[in-house]
Structure 1
Amino acid sequence: MLLDVTAFASTHPNPVLEAFGALENGSRTVISAPATLSADQTAFHATLDRMAGGVGDPGTSGPISLTQPAAITHVTQRVPLSELPSLRGLSLLQQLALLDRSDMSRFASDHPGVLKTLASRPPAATVVDAWWTGIPAAKQRDLATAAPGVVGNLEGVPYAMRDRANRTYLSDSIRGIRDQMRAGTGRAAGDDLTRRLHMLEQVRTSLQDGSSSEPRALIGLDPSGEGTAVITVGDVTTADYVGYLVPGMFSSVDTQIVKFAASSQQIASDQQAMLDRLEPATATRPTPTVAVVAWLGYHSPGLANVETLDLAKQAEAALTSSVQGLRAIRGPHQPFISVMAHSYGSTASLLAVQSGGLSVDALAIVGSPGSPAQSASELSVTDGNVWVGQAASMDPVPATGLFGSRPTDPAYGAHLFGTAGATDPLTGGWLTAAVSHNDYFVPGTESLRNIELIGIDRADLVLGLDRAK
């Protein structure tokens, strides 16, 4: 079950007003660069990076962004090893791929901060995809071994390789924390290590296949601080339908990743059962397949930091990058992509599809505190396939519109789906109501059933259908 207690966790006389803030605008400068970088051009690239404060990499969201064509010509001229720490983005990736295994390992050991910056500010997924496919398989394996935290989080690297790298990164991180604890620390540092160790062990637990035996993969991991993690259920490389599940407030990796992965599996299993019923395999056509992404790729807010959209903007950038990574990997064989988002996560998702950087085939939001867009027509969602649900009796959050327009309003132009309970015409069973802010993804509810149908492009079977007028 997803957990978001925005409306109920505060002692403020108006907890919803206390919980949400306002959007601020930013600006960005784009500098174009050639696809082929000589040694001199690499040095020029590094100079630009330093001038930009280290944010001059393709695909970043900083004030200066260096863009390059997707067609990458791989460099063959090495720069001195001592100069690599000054490089960023594609330049650094290209040079790392020229190192032998021992030099890769030595660089990773000597310059963890450089690799952390690379992982947090990578090139665009299409650039990474072109670079990765152009280096030998042996070099790919060496990079994944020497720098698992980089390879595991690079959008554009195949998911199977990212899963292997991130599992190595996870094990290395757990071992490193245990070594620190054995060496002895102060009380505060020891408490932090204990918390981080528990968080990473929760990630490890969440990777265990559930009852459906759908494979799980770890395609994103940041073991520092509050942490982030992205886990797939099913094969996103081949699935016909891929859904991103985006949580709201109080959804930390430490407390929620195991439940969140289970919720994603529930959705994937339900959707596959629906497809088996609706589109059974024939001699010439197999039943379509499903994968769901348990996307905890941002730090969701608590009471101390929910008053602004800062974390929503971070989530906007991260979710956009994640979906762009899927599109880069899938190439001409694109799946039907949906986003299923709750509460604060819905506002982050709305920001992403409003910005133009993210385009999806369906968007289903519940318990939403508002949209910066004035209407669904401003969103990059195929055919206006924007859906919204509200548990009207016990969820006050959607009525506030504190982040802008209210998606539940008729003027917004979204499709409304039922949450109050109904008989399922497919099974004849009773679907229960989503009573409060945290009930939308409870198994057996009308709300979850409708969200699942939206994710497999079966809007014709959604219950409580009502185009807002």
Structure 2
Amino acid sequence: GPPPGSAAWRADTVLGVRLPDPVGAAPAEVAAFFAGLTPAQRDALAVRHPLVTGNLDGVPVEVRYRANALALEEERRREQAAAEDGTLSAAGRAQALARAQRYAALAGRQILAFDPRGRGQVVEVFGELSPGSRPAVVVPGSDVDLTEYDRDGDPYAGPAGMARALRAATGGQVPVIAWAGYTTPVGVGMDAATADLAVAGGARLGRFLDGLAARTGAATVFCHSYGSVVCGRADLGPRQAAGLVVFGSPGMETARAADLRVPVWAAERNDADWIGRVPHVSVLGLGHGADPTGTGFGARVVSSAGSHGHSGYFAPGTASLANFAALALGDTAGVRCADRDPGCHDAR
């Protein structure tokens, strides 16, 4: 749905003009509106409507950082007060304290989107999104939300850890965005087996990349597990995405890579990745179709030697991370192909 606080945003006439509609306005329209404001007016909107300003694609990056810092602090204070409320149950206070601590852990970071509703969503930038910087965007799979975003106990499994690893592997040359900006499935139940959440997430991803491209150019999008279903349903073109890189994928809701309109790279699946036991079919709305690493799909298959498990593709020292870094840098000639696709460098 629209960002929290959208009703108050729509009713606000403090600038003497109608503010861009949070749902209907295209990112380019939002960007044009903010370009016509003074710095003081931009800051006023961030202060008055932090959850709208901070989540609206097309708003300047620096303004979104400011708005989301304010929103995080406001939510931290609210949850901290609840944690100290003696009228709540012990379980309710503990839950509020956990959320307050989670918001505190995000303070001081470059948060490009933040939504506290439900399980929560967050988008974070590592590096600087400068004009022409061609960023990388990491789209995670199931079980990712505000609580599971960092995954300190398994540092390369969560989107923040993946983004940090990728930026380090590029020598800090590529800005990387961890995009936990959609409602992910929980577990391996019906939500993971169907495309409903991917359809909604794909629309959000497409809009996000629209707004991003105006500042930085097309991004290289890294799609993990169910995130590859999201990428497949995002209807991306070359203006938004320089290429899609999928790994641990259950399918992309299409039979051929050529249908996706941008180059598609797939990391070979390691033997310990449980996704290999998931049938690559689509029957009566269940399943996500062809295996992106299969010979008939047409993706360029790269090595993932050294990786282990479903979430081990970003671990340092793996061929998959080295390949991901090369692709993020635009160095396709430096990619190590999978043994069964020695011509993965060839144009397709």
Q: TM-score range by the shorter chain?
A: 0.7 to 0.9
Tell me, in whole angstroms, the C-alpha distance in 2 between the residues paired with 1:352 and 1:124: 16
Q: Which amino acid aligns with 2:27?
A: A
Q: CA deviation at 1:251?
A: 1.8
Contact 2:250–2:288, Cα closer than 8 Å, also in 1: yes
- Is structure 2 residue 206 aligned with structure 1 residue 320? yes
In structure 2, relative to structure 1, the CA distance for the partners of 1:197 and 1:159 (3 Å cut) is: farther
In structure 2, relative to structure 1, the CA distance for the partners of 1:127 and 1:368 (3 Å cut) is: same
Contact 1:388–1:415, Cα closer than 8 Å, also in 2: yes
- Is structure 2 residue 135 aligned with structure 1 residue 253? no
Tell me, in whole angstroms, the C-alpha distance in 2 between the residues paired with 1:339 and 1:312: 15
Q: Which amino acid aligns with 2:253?
A: P
Tell me, in whole angstroms, the C-alpha distance in 1 between the residues paired with 2:171 and 2:24: 34
In structure 2, relative to structure 1, the CA distance for the partners of 1:313 and 1:386 (3 Å cut) is: same
Deviation by residue 1:197-243 (Cα, 9 ceiling, x = unmatched): 424533542456xxxxxxx4101000122000000000113462300
Structure in which a larger fraction of residues adopt helix = 1
Residue in 2 that maps onto 1:298: 182
Q: Pick 1 or 2: higher relative contact order, CA cutoff 8 A, min separation 6.
A: 1
Please give the residue correspondences for 1:39-438 in structure 2 after superposition, counting only pairs within 5 Å. Answer: 92=10, 95-98=13-16, 121=23, 123-187=25-89, 191-192=91-92, 194-195=94-95, 197-199=97-99, 201-206=101-106, 216-238=109-131, 240-257=133-150, 259=155, 260-272=159-171, 289-303=173-187, 304=189, 305-328=191-214, 330=215, 334-353=216-235, 359-381=240-262, 385-398=263-276, 400-401=279-280, 402-420=287-305, 433-438=306-311
Tell me, in whole angstroms, the C-alpha distance in 2 between the residues paired with 1:300 and 1:357: 25
Deviation by residue 1:147-183 (Cα, 9 ceiling, x = unmatched): 1111111111111111011001000111112223334
Contact 1:353–1:359, Cα closer than 8 Å, also in 2: no
Residue in 2 that maps onto 1:63: none
In structure 2, relative to structure 1, the CA distance for the partners of 1:93 and 1:337 (3 Å cut) is: farther
Tell me, in whole angstroms, the C-alpha distance in 1 between the residues paired with 2:239 and 2:97: 34
Q: Which amino acid aligns with 2:161?
A: A
Partner SS, residue 113 of structure 2: strand
Contact 2:76–2:103, Cα closer than 8 Å, also in 1: no
Tell me, in whole angstroms, the C-alpha distance in 2 between the residues paired with 1:415 and 1:200: 44
Contact 1:359–1:380, Cα closer than 8 Å, also in 2: no
Tell me, in whole angstroms, the C-alpha distance in 2 between the residues paired with 1:197 and 1:247: 26
Q: In angstroms, what is the RMSD of aligned CA positions?
A: 3.1
In structure 2, relative to structure 1, the CA distance for the partners of 1:412 and 1:200 (3 Å cut) is: farther
**Which 10-residue stretch deviates more, 307-316 or 340-349?**
307-316
Contact 2:265–2:300, Cα closer than 8 Å, also in 1: yes
Tell me, in whole angstroms, the C-alpha distance in 2 between the residues paired with 1:185 and 1:390: 54
Partner SS, residue 361 of structure 1: strand
- Is structure 2 residue 332 aligned with structure 1 residue 459? yes
Q: CA deviation at 1:462?
A: 0.7
Uncovered stretches (5+) of structure 1, i.e. residues with no partner: 1-54, 61-83, 100-114, 209-215, 274-288, 421-432
Uncovered stretches (5+) of structure 2, i.e. residues with no partner: 281-286
Contact 2:76–2:104, Cα closer than 8 Å, also in 1: no
Q: Which amino acid aligns with 1:326?
A: L
Contact 2:165–2:314, Cα closer than 8 Å, also in 1: no
Partner SS, residue 226 of structure 1: coil
**Which 10-residue stretch deviates more, 361-370 or 190-199?**
190-199
Q: Which amino acid aligns with 1:337?
A: A
In structure 2, relative to structure 1, the CA distance for the partners of 1:336 and 1:125 (3 Å cut) is: closer
Contact 2:213–2:240, Cα closer than 8 Å, also in 1: no
Tell me, in whole angstroms, the C-alpha distance in 2 between the residues paired with 1:136 and 1:367: 46
Contact 2:137–2:176, Cα closer than 8 Å, also in 1: yes
Contact 1:196–1:225, Cα closer than 8 Å, also in 2: no
Deviation by residue 1:414-440 (Cα, 9 ceiling, x = unmatched): 1000112xxxxxxxxxxxx11322211
In structure 2, relative to structure 1, the CA distance for the partners of 1:233 and 1:203 (3 Å cut) is: farther
Q: CA deviation at 1:371?
A: 1.8
Q: Which amino acid aligns with 1:95?
A: T
Contact 1:231–1:294, Cα closer than 8 Å, also in 2: yes
In structure 2, relative to structure 1, the CA distance for the partners of 1:435 and 1:266 (3 Å cut) is: closer
